[in-house]
Each structure stands twice: as structure tokens, then as C-alpha cells.
Structure 1
Amino acid sequence: MRRLAIGDIHGGYLAMLQVLERAGFNAADDLLIGLGDYVDGWPDSHEVVRYLMDIQNFKGVIGNHDLWFIDASLKIRDNGINVDELYHSFNYNWVSQGGEATLRSYGKNVESVDSHACFLAQLPGYLVVDDKLFIHGGCPDWEALPQALPEQTTYALAWDREMFYAFLRENRKNPADLRGFSECYIGHTSTSRLDKTLQPVSCNGLWNLDQGGGWEGKLTVMDIDSHEYWQSDIVGTLYPYERGRG
């Protein structure tokens, strides 16, 4: 069984299908590990979540955009979705950061909101596979790994950026920095401004697989055992009539 990690999808169903095809993903034989932010940005959040729910060998962590959607799902259940009143009815920060596309996606599929929100809500804040750690954002108290993990809130793990920035700043080379983990995989912080080639960024075992797929970057899938990776086209080219989060 291959073990594949996928970066932030952000409603980019076409990009997800493309990169999984390029990776030769076999849903029956391969394990797919999601790094969070499955929704918000591109127009197909409903299709993304539905696809992931159908994969038996799927594991994933929850992202900050997924948390926003879960919060909104309660209001959707009570009041439905009025596409003409999105900015008045829902969290402005969320709607302006890709939530509008998610609401429009579920406006056609309101009956799926509860089950999809429940699916996302059961995803953990962090995941350990063998000696590899998966988090959406990072661990705020990363210097106290692994003991600090159970003490962190899901919100903190989904929103943290300091762990990634700390590894970048200090360019650490001591494997002990991950304190018992051989590798850590994150998303959340797009690397598109750090590396214009849009390749995955690695700092001493810390892999960031968010190459701006929620914006005008690419969606990345990586084999966590061989580090071979595959990428979609620039996601915006797959949605030429959509503005995404731009």
C-alpha cells in the first residue's frame, strides 16, 4: 500500500482528480492522507468532500477553513442559504476567504451540509502514522513535541504558522528538532511566495505541501515513503471562469 499525502484542496475538485490521476492513485490499494482545508476557494467544495467520504482508505486532519464551514453549517441547517445575502448572513472573514464559493456549491446541495460537516468534524487536529506527524497548520509549542500535542486545541493546530516559520528562519539541521518524529507534514501556509517553482518545501523533515492550490498555485500529492510527488496544473487554469480566493 502506498501512502500519499495531499495538500490543501480548497474546493478544487478538478485539480484533485488531475493530481490523483497523475499519481496513479488507486482508492482500493493506496492510503490517502489529507492535510486539511478541503473546502473554500474553488467552486467544487461539495464534490471534494463527497469524493473523500467515499474513499475507504482516507485519513486526514482538519483545517481552519473546515472549521469555518462546520460553524456555518449550523446556520445553514436553521436558515438555508440565500446566495444574495451571503455577506450579511455569515462570517465575513470566512465568506471573503473562499467561503462564498463553498456556500454557492452547497446552495445546490443543501441536503448534504449536515453529513459533510459531520464528516469534517470527526477529523482530528493531528494524525500520527508510524513515526510521521500530520497537522494542518503546526504545533504552537513544537519545541515540546510530542507531549505538547494532546494539550493543543484543534483550533490552535489548524491555525498555527509559527512552527513552519521557525523552521524556515533557523534552517535547523538537527533531526531532534521534531522530537521523536522522523517527519512532519503540514499545509495551511502557502509556499508560493517562497518558492516560485511551486515545489514542496522541506526544512529538516518538516514538509509543507501547500503550494498555493487555493490561489493561483498547484495542488500537490506526495508519497510519504519515497518523497516522489505529483502536481496539478495551475489550479486557476482548470477554472478559467472562476476567481477563486483572488
Structure 2
Amino acid sequence: METYVIGDIHGAARALDQVLERSPFRPGIDRLIQLGDVADGWPETPACVERLLSIPNSIWLQGNHDWWASEWLATQLPLEDVSQSWYRQGGKATFDAYQYLSRSGRYQHFESFFCEQLPYFEDEANNLYMHGGYDPTRPIAEQDPYDLIWNRDLWSGNQTATGYHECFIGHTSTWSYKEVPCHTHNVWNLDQGAGYNGRLSMLNVRTKEFVQSDPVPELYPGVKGR
């Protein structure tokens, strides 16, 4: 069994399909870990959820945008009552896309996918997977899950994931200066800006071989992402 990680998808189901097709990943044999932010930005969050739900042996980590989207899916508030912070930062695309599902269909996604996302995951090789970051001076189990999806210090502060072999994160896009998966110390960043003008990345944890989608705006001509 190999382990593969996928970075921030942000509603780009076409990019998700591309990396799955271009990778030697074997559904049902290999393990897939998605690093969060499946939702918000491009117009196909429900399709992304359906695609990930169909892949056996998958682990889904919670991103800050998934947190926002799941809050709305839990309540299904009307447009005038939704969080404007969420709506302005990619939530509009998620809100609009889910209008094509019934109320029960939306709640099924909430229960079967968003409620199953984890704040972090540790594998048998002592690797850590999470969306944002954490305080490496404290045990991760003692830290607030909300902080784990928002923290950027691990990457922006050029920190080492103390106590782990390697750490794999998303959340902080490298697209403006590095268009491929990159690392500093033992921390790997898989967010190459798929929510904006960049590409979606999928990496083999052991070999570090990776595939990427086309630039996501090319997959959605005439559509504005985040």
C-alpha cells in the first residue's frame, strides 16, 4: 500500500479528476489523504464530495473552508442569513452549487463527509497530516482543532514539525513563488493555489513523485474562482 496526499481542491472537481487519472494511485489498494479545503471557490464542491466518498481507504482532513461550509450545511440558512465572511471568500460557489441538491441531499453530504473530516492524522510511519499547522512545542492532541485549520506558523515561520518524521499540510498557497509541492525542513506543502490560478497537486508520500492538474482557470473557462 502506498499513501497519496491531495492538496486544497476548492470545488475544482475537474482538477480532482485529472490528478486521480494522472497518478498511479490504485483505488481500493492505496490510501488517499485529502488535506482539507474541498469546499469553496470553484463551482463543483458537491461533485468533489461525491468523488472522494467513492474512493475506498480515504481519509479526509478538515480545512477552514470546510468548517465554514459544514456550518452552513448543518443549518441550511437562507442566503440573507449566511456568514458573509464565508460567502465572500468562496462560499458563494458552494452555496450556489448545493441549490441543485435537495435539502436531504445536502444534509447527507454534511453527515457522510464533512462530519467525518479529521483535525489531523498520524500514520504508522510517524508522519503527520493536517490542513493548517500546529504549535510544535505542545502535544498536538492538546491543541484546539479550530486552531489546527487556521494556523499558518508552521509554514510561514519556517518551523520543523518536531516529533514527526514528516508533516504534510495545505492552507497556505505557494502558487505565487513555487508552482510544485515544496518543503522546508520536514514540512511539505501541497497547496499550489488550485483555489486561485494555480494547480491541484497529488503526491506519493514515500517517493515524493507527484502529478498536477492543468491550471484550474483553464478547466473552468469564463468562471471566476476565489
TM-score class normalised by the smaller sequence? over 0.9
Contact 1:12-1:235 at 8 Å conserved across structures: yes
Q: Deviations over 1:15-35 (max 9, x none)?
A: 000011111332122211010
Query: Is the CA contact (8 Å cut-off) linking 1:60 and 1:127 kept in structure 2?
Result: no
Match of 1:135? 130
- Normalising by structure 1, what TM-score? 0.87
Q: Cα offset for 1:236?
A: 0.7
User: Is the 2:154–2:161 Cα contact (8 Å) retained in structure 1?
Assistant: no
Q: Which residue is 1:181 aligned to? A: 164
How many Å separate the matches in 2 of 1:208 and 1:178?
A: 12
Q: CA RMSD in A?
A: 1.3
Query: Quick one: which amino acid aligns to residue 85 of structure 2?
Result: N
Mapping of residues 195-234 of structure 1, within 5 Å = 195=178, 198-234=179-215
Counterpart AA for 1:227: K
Offset of residue 45 of structure 1: 0.2
Give 1:99 shift. Answer: 0.6
Identical amino acids, percent of aligned pairs = 38
Q: Give the aligned partner of residue 146 of structure 2.
A: 155
Q: Aligned to 2:108, which of 115, 121, 136? A: 115
1:99 aligns with 2:82: no
5+ long unaligned stretches in structure 1: none
Higher helix share: 1
Which is greater in Rg? 1
Task: Count the aligned residue pairs.
Answer: 223
What TM-score results when the alignment is normalised by the length of structure 2? 0.94
Letter in 2 for 1:160: N
Match for residue 14 of structure 1? 14
Cα deviation 1:95-149 (Å, max 9, x = unaligned): 111111101111001332112112212221110012100010000x2233xx2x1
Q: Secondary structure at the match of 1:143?
A: coil
Secondary structure of residue in 2 paired with 1:133: strand
What residue is the counterpart of 1:55 in the other structure?
A: 55
Give the C-alpha shift of residue 206 in structure 1: 0.2
Contact kept, 8 Å, 1:62 with 1:121, in 2: the verdict is no
Give, as a single letter, the amino acid of the residue that structure 2 aligns with 1:221.
M
Displacement after TM superposition at 1:241 (Å):
2.1
